[in-house]
Amino acid sequence: MEFLVRTENLLPPDTPDHTRDRLRRAERERAQELRDAGILKRLWRVPGRNATVGLYEAGDPAELHDALTSLPMWKWMDVTVEALATHPQERA
């Protein structure tokens, strides 16, 4: 299944720089692991916001949930998920 996942990082503004840097490094590492596993397919930044839009592929919603909750910044994220279905015009 494919999912469109929108995330916004809500890390408190008073988070110390060293903590913020550590979390960002860990987040990049985990995202790369999800890419290598074929779960994270594409990732876009949202200009002007601390937000992303990602295309994920998982066997089911529970597998996607496990992937998202494995992200180091998970507890500071606002996340919305849309399950995607192939449009009839895309079926060639």
Question: Nearest-CA neighbor of 55 among 26, 35, 74?
Answer: 35
Residue 92 has pLDDT above 80, yes or no: no
CA distance linking residue 55 with residue 52, whole number of Å: 10
pLDDT for 12 equals 94
pLDDT digits (tens, 9 = 90+) for 10-48: 999 999 999 999 999 999 999 999 999 999 999 999 999
- Is residue 92 in a domain? no
Query: What CATH number does residue 19 fall under?
Result: 3.30.70.1060
**Separation of alpha carbons 2 and 18, rounded Å:** 35
Beta strand ranges found along the chain (DSSP E): 2-9, 40-46, 51-57, 77-84
Structural domain of residue 57, as residue ranges? Answer: 2-83
Predicted TM-score (pTM) of the model is 0.90
Our count of domains for the chain comes to 1
List, for residues 68-86, the tens digit of each pLDDT value: 999 999 999 999 999 999 8
| Domain-located, residue 10 | yes
